[in-house]
Chain A
Amino acid sequence: MIAYLTRRILFAGVLLLAVSLFTFLIFTVLPTDPAALTCGKACTPDRIEANRTRLGYDQPVTTQYVRFLKGIVGGRTYGEGQGEFTCGAPSLGYSFSQKDCVTSLIARTLPVTASIAFGGFALWIIFGIGLGMVSALKRGRWPDRLISVVSVVGLSFPTFFLALLLLFIFVIWTQILPFPSYVSPTEDFFGWCQALILPWLTITIISAPYYIRLTRFGMLETMNEDYVRLGIAKGLKRWTVLRKYVLRSALIPIVTVAGLDFGVTLGGAVFTESVFSLPGMGRLSIKAVSDSDLPVLVGTTLVAGTFIVVFNLLTDIFYGFVDPRVRIHK
């Protein structure tokens, strides 16, 4: 188990380094001149050159990458003397268009995205697996049919359309909810829930159908396994067989997908954040794209990539715990 863990963690580290290298390389090969974007209309050739030196864009790519990595570990100071400013560790660079350190931009937007992701994830897992179980247990009868029709409808909605529809129904038409505006859960928990309920619903309606399908399929397949029949033949109760024999193996692939999906959502729910005007990481990335704000793009990509790698690692570790065939090689 220890060897397995070490192997997975080392691999994750290498993967992260590769992600950082690639995002950084893309950043440097883009045809836009980062220095020219630092001052907008007030740019003069002298000023561009000064900013270039100050932000280190005059250095070779390798030096820039090493500085970037060093910044993540120990923070980074730009310029010297009067114009000097520091982005503390872990520094992911400096956004010239937002005049702020990328790390602080992400630190401000991440709680919003995390709130959307956690709530949405919890809901879609509960509904996805719960309804999937109902579907499998009532296979071919009306609950199964109803669930499958509803999931196809949910699955077919484009996110932005669904989000707008929910917004229209709950905020504009029935006026049950105010227009979402994010508040910290520590300040106003109820307000936080109120602001996020529609984004959560959106994510749930879009994602739960996959989990319903996965759960239903996994359970039906496992129910045909001989060992499940043996469990019943032992005289075990229906619920015990379901829990220890059917769900146990049906849920393992779902956990894998769920881990990855959660990692992805944590990297920014772009459409959902945009429609509901929530200041999350997805919106930060979109804005960075339209502003050609390259340091922010590198930063958000790296953070989003890290989430995916980390949750991939966690699911791998989880696998090792639940499936003895992964843990013990013989």
Chain B
Amino acid sequence: MSELVLQVKDLKVAFSTVDGVVQAVNGISFDVRKGQTLGIVGESGSGKSVTASAIMGLTNRKSADMSGSILLGGLDVLTAQEREIRALRGREAAMVFQDPMSALNPYYTVGKQIAEAYEVHHPKTSKKERRLIALDMLAKVGLPKPSECIDEYPHQFSGGMRQRIVIAIALVNNPRLLIADEPTTALDVTVQAQILDLMMNLQQEFGSAIILITHDLGVVAEVADEVMVMYAGQTMESSKVQTLFDTPSHPYTRGLLGSVRSLDNSERGALHTIAGNPPSMISLPGGCPFHPRCEFSASMNGLCATVQPTLRVLPATGSESACHLNDDQLLSLGLGVNHD
């Protein structure tokens, strides 16, 4: 097994609001190893982005109640000093945001913004050196004419180009972990594939581990090694990517797969949807958070509504699943799903 880059254990993040306590992340655990790509999948509000913020130490400790541990670069991000976390940001872990249109500072040239990121961890370099580094990064992320682009401002670039620049900023310090929070959601479909390719190529070159947060299963299928499916701040299933698509081991995963239109099922009329809405994060249903929407919960004699299932390994596939169904029932879930 390759070296461990990030270890998250029983992470809980709650925010107090006027309406009550929002339990955004409710006890998730996962590891990320060098060179690996972990996809985190879930609907809006499932706690994906909150997890990403927590790893980067971007969550305001005063407004959020956090427990568990996040081990990154030899530190526990949850308890470390701000100064120590600052040393990790950019070098141990860097971040790519969803919307490239707003992720760049409009008042500085892109070259300066890349150079600035480099300067944080290489304060002794000269301005000239940093400029050369910025030029090099712009070329690496595939911007045409880097020597011209370097002195231009963010508003002069298209969305796809800006996302390349954000990636350049993220990778300039050669971080061991890259957290990409919906990196392609705001982009045109044609550009999405380019950006994903770029990230994969750069991962080969830099050897970074990647956490890819997305609601798009297609993206996960393309680039992830492992997938974690989140629902209401909890892990529903955690599998190798191929296993997840072949034999989903959780009713929620199956629901997600069924709601993707693929070439195979496109002609068969209506797309499958998961009935109901994601639960309110303030008053989660008792037991399994997914049970009010789950087609199997009715046949479980009220077990799902009272007892919260824990993650367990399915020996047959190696997947982890948090469901009260027995192994055989879970393994047969994949049979009803069509995908390519």
Contacts and interface: CB of A to CB of B under 8 A. Distances in A.
B88 A227 contact: no
B90 A226 contact: no
Given A227-B106, A322-B107, A235 B95 contact: no
A159 B134 CA distance: 55
Contacts, number: 74
Interface stretch (A21-29, A150-158, A193-201, A244-252): A244-252
A330 to B, nearest CB: 5
A321 to B, nearest CB: 11
Contacts of B58: 229, 232-233
Query: Is chain A's binding surface mostly helix, strand, loop or mixed?
Result: helix
Contacts of A230: 95, 97, 103-105, 166, 169
A328 B105 contact: no
A323 B105 CA distance: 11
B97 A323 contact: no
B102 interface: yes
B105 A227 contact: yes
Nearest to A324: B153
Contact of B106 (A231, A232, A233, A249): A249
A234 B165 CA distance: 13
Interface residues of A, number: 23
Given A233-B89, A235-B88, A227 B102 contact: yes
Given A323-B107, A325-B153, A236 B102 contact: no
Interface stretch (B113-121, B194-202, B253-261, B293-301): B113-121
B137 to A, nearest CB: 13
Nearest to B101: A226
Contacts of A237: 86
Contacts of A238: 82
Contacts of B109: 324
A251 to B, nearest CB: 11
A224 to B, nearest CB: 10
Given A237-B86, A330-B156, A225 B102 contact: yes
Contacts of B87: 235
A249 to B, nearest CB: 7
Contacts of A225: 102
A227 B104 contact: yes
A225 B102 CA distance: 7
B332 to A, nearest CB: 43
Contacts of B89: 232-235
A255 B116 CA distance: 26
A225 B120 CA distance: 21
B30 interface: no
B154 to A, nearest CB: 8
Contact of A231 (B82, B105, B121, B166): B105
21 contacts: A226-B102, A227-B105, A227-B106, A229-B58, A229-B97, A230-B97, A230-B169, A232-B89, A233-B58, A233-B95, A234-B89, A235-B88, A235-B117, A236-B116, A236-B120, A237-B86, A245-B105, A323-B107, A324-B106, A328-B155, A330-B156
Given A324-B155, A328-B156, 5 more contacts: A227-B104, A229-B97, A234-B89, A234-B120, A324-B107
A-B interface, 4 closest residue pairs, ranked by CB to CB distance from nearest: A235-B89, A235-B90, A324-B153, A226-B102
